[in-house]
A and B are shown apart, each in its own frame.
Chain A
Amino acid sequence: MRILGIETSCDETAAAVVDDGRRIVSNVVASQLAHQDTGGIVPEVAAREHLRALDAITQQALRDAATDLRGVDAIAATVGPGLVGCLLVGANYARGLALASGLPFVGVNHLEGHVYANWLYEGDLAPREPEIPAVVLIVSGAHSDLVLMEGHRRFRLLGRTVDDAAGEAFDKVARLLGLGFPGGPYVERAAREGDPDAYPLPRATVADRYDFSFSGLKTAVLRLVRSLEEKGRVPVADVAASFQKAITEMLAEKTARAAAEHAVDTVLLGGGVAANGPLREEIARRIGHPLRVPPPRLCTDNGAMIGAAAFFVLRHRGTEIPTAVRGDLRLA
């Protein structure tokens, strides 16, 4: 089954063609550059950009797959969670395509997309599917969810952030240090030259055992940078490395603990922050075996993961397939 997947929940305009929920036939992602100046995503600007780019991106994905709508079996788009104005662009465009070409429309939960990105591969050789049950950590600028995947499309939320998303913390620290947006890759690069033990930073304790909180860490970094500024020069690399170590340990500790408690071997990652190298290493170290993680460009938002998730929605549909856009949709 060949699915066209469309993703517009945040600041990537993306479309892809995926076979049987796994093989990437084409995958086109346009990252909006308009937000680099503002250092954060302005929803109205993002929605405008999506509308401007989406049709061309979708045509490109079909062309790259050497197909057209007649060669596709279903059309999928993210219906949430995300910025409502942005979701509406992708969902309505995709529904229009589906209606006019007589194909089924599949509304996809963006977080399920991040999970099923772990099923994707490119080329002719299919790697083994991840084993279920699995613990899934989805960390990006918008979400920080720790989830137990008990079966296909059966998710139990173990914990989530009580304040900022992990990616937001990266963004804010990057801005504080005068680095670029989005913060994740810039902080990671700066941290390479730094000493992760240069500054002790707090690891938040949260009442609910699997919930995350990053605002305390963020405030501690702010205070640290202000006091360093008073003394003169801010050693950017050392601050970045110390921050990255702290946040990475917070995420890895809970992820590894969840895997141990539920006697689960498989740990899956998704979201932009999952592209962070030290985070992957720290989780692998704590669970005691290597992780199989999607390559960075499948961790960040893309259409292939939506095409993949849509396949599993059609195969394991328990309830009616959602079509309505919901900005606050949850995984479980």
Chain B
Amino acid sequence: MALLALDTSTDWASVALYDGRAVLAEETWRAQRRHGDELFPAIERLLSSARVGLAAVDRVAVATGPGSFTGLRVAIAAAQGIARGAGASLVGVSTLDVLAYPHAPSKQRTCPLLPAGRTDWYAAFYQERNRRWLRRSPYVVATLPELCRQIGTHTLFVGELDEEAEATLRDLLGPKALFAPPASRMRRAGFLAELGWRALEAEPQTRLDEVEPIYVKQPRIGRSFDQPFAPPPADDVALGLPRRS
């Protein structure tokens, strides 16, 4: 039994193989616009380095964004094909959820950022509450000043922020802006695999065509988002760390 995780949400791409306990192999690379050509060779390298045949893959997890629309569809289409061909179950996990997840132990409010074109960024806010790590906002697209207007307390920024974005956030938020070290801000499919595995344990199979990109473009952040963390998603939608029952 193994789970194959695929993520081509942005210029960065990542694939991983996971067996429910450990990441067996992982590859993260800068694909830019070449996801379509590079994804399958990467999957084949992954399987051979982990010495796992596709016959062992019975679960597939794919990052569903928000991110580059075309990029997202590359991995989702591939994941649908692999799941269909292998008879595996498929789950979609938000790219922002994947970015925030490794920072749960920090207990900081965490805000992953991904470029959304021009001066826009995709973002969401995550925070532990009642010992559960939850997404506390909708997925939004906003400029950094619009986003910072919603931020009152210390916030840990992760994701694909360049130096300029980091400087802007420091200007806007001063000491409230915290930054994870660059390498730990990145997205790795190993985390996607963990989240995907858990989601499939909780709810085994969805229809393949229900796994769709999260196309966040409108509405922009603003009047509809005038309280810092309202409206939070319902708990069953929000991302949870293992549901300790």
Interface size on B, residues (CB 8 A): 31
The reply on A108 being an interface residue by CB < 8 A is no
A53: chain B residues within 8 A (beta carbon): 209
Interface positions, chain A 263-305, Cβ under 8 Å from B, are: none
The reply on A47 being an interface residue by CB < 8 A is yes
Partner of A93 from the list B37, B77, B88, B215 (CB cut-off 8 Å) is: B77
A37: chain B residues within 8 A (beta carbon): none
Partner of B40 from the list A48, A51, A55, A99 (CB cut-off 8 Å) is: A99
A85 near B208: Cβ-Cβ < 8 Å = no
Q: With the chains together, A84 CA to B36 CA distance in Å?
A: 10
A31: chain B residues within 8 A (beta carbon): none
A69: chain B residues within 8 A (beta carbon): 85
Contact with A along B67-93 (1 / 0, CB 8 A): 001100111111111111110100000
Partner of B84 from the list A84, A89, A97, A323 (CB cut-off 8 Å) is: A97
Could you tell me the distance in whole angstroms from the C-beta of A99 to the nearest C-beta in chain B? 6
Contact with B along A239-257 (1 / 0, CB 8 A): 0000000000000000000
B69 near A94: Cβ-Cβ < 8 Å = no
The reply on B96 being an interface residue by CB < 8 A is no
Could you tell me the distance in whole angstroms from the C-beta of B54 to the nearest C-beta in chain A? 6
The reply on B213 being an interface residue by CB < 8 A is yes
Contact with B along A35-75 (1 / 0, CB 8 A): 00000000010011001111110110000000001000000
B36 near A52: Cβ-Cβ < 8 Å = no
The reply on B39 being an interface residue by CB < 8 A is yes
Q: List 13 A-B contacts (CB under 8 A).
A: A47-B69, A53-B209, A55-B208, A58-B84, A85-B73, A89-B77, A91-B36, A95-B40, A95-B78, A96-B80, A99-B54, A100-B84, A100-B86
B77: chain A residues within 8 A (beta carbon): 51, 54, 88-93, 96
For the complex of A and B, the 8 pairs showing the least CB-CB separation, nearest first, are A96-B81, A100-B85, A100-B86, A96-B82, A92-B77, A93-B81, A92-B78, A101-B85
The reply on B43 being an interface residue by CB < 8 A is yes
The reply on B212 being an interface residue by CB < 8 A is yes
B79 near A324: Cβ-Cβ < 8 Å = no
Partner of B73 from the list A88, A95, A98, A323 (CB cut-off 8 Å) is: A88
Q: With the chains together, A100 CA to B235 CA distance in Å?
A: 35
Partner of B76 from the list A51, A59, A100, A325 (CB cut-off 8 Å) is: A51
A84 near B81: Cβ-Cβ < 8 Å = no
A97 near B76: Cβ-Cβ < 8 Å = no
Q: With the chains together, A241 CA to B43 CA distance in Å?
A: 55
B208: chain A residues within 8 A (beta carbon): 55
- The A interface, classified by DSSP as helix, strand, loop or mixed, is helix
A96: chain B residues within 8 A (beta carbon): 77-85
Report which B residues bind A (CB closer than 8 A). Answer: 35-37, 39-40, 43-44, 54, 57, 69-70, 73-86, 88, 208-209, 212-213, 215
Q: With the chains together, A136 CA to B86 CA distance in Å?
A: 40
Q: Closest B residue to A105 by CB, please name it.
A: B40
A52: chain B residues within 8 A (beta carbon): 209, 212
Could you tell me the distance in whole angstroms from the C-beta of B59 to the nearest C-beta in chain A? 12
A88: chain B residues within 8 A (beta carbon): 35-36, 70, 73-74, 77
Given contacts A84-B70, A92-B74, A100-B54, is CB(A55)–CB(B86) below 8 Å? no
A98: chain B residues within 8 A (beta carbon): 81, 85
A96-B81, A99-B43, A100-B88 given; 19 more Cβ-contact pairs under 8 Å: A47-B73, A51-B73, A51-B213, A54-B77, A54-B80, A55-B84, A84-B36, A90-B77, A92-B40, A92-B78, A92-B81, A93-B78, A96-B78, A96-B83, A96-B84, A96-B85, A100-B81, A323-B37, A323-B40
Q: With the chains together, A325 CA to B35 CA distance in Å?
A: 10
B83: chain A residues within 8 A (beta carbon): 96, 100
A102: chain B residues within 8 A (beta carbon): 54
Q: With the chains together, A324 CA to B35 CA distance in Å?
A: 10
Q: With the chains together, A88 CA to B72 CA distance in Å?
A: 10
Could you tell me the distance in whole angstroms from the C-beta of A212 to the nearest C-beta in chain B? 31
Could you tell me the distance in whole angstroms from the C-beta of B74 to the nearest C-beta in chain A? 5
Could you tell me the distance in whole angstroms from the C-beta of A169 to the nearest C-beta in chain B? 29
A85 near B85: Cβ-Cβ < 8 Å = no
B37: chain A residues within 8 A (beta carbon): 323-325
Q: With the chains together, A237 CA to B57 CA distance in Å?
A: 60
Q: With the chains together, A201 CA to B172 CA distance in Å?
A: 64
Contact with B along A1-28 (1 / 0, CB 8 A): 0000000000000000000000000000
User: Which of A85, A88, A94, A96 has its CB near the most chain B CB atoms (within 10 A)?
Assistant: A96
A89: chain B residues within 8 A (beta carbon): 73, 77
Q: Closest B residue to A324 by CB, please name it.
A: B37
A325: chain B residues within 8 A (beta carbon): 36-37
B81 near A324: Cβ-Cβ < 8 Å = no
B54 near A55: Cβ-Cβ < 8 Å = no
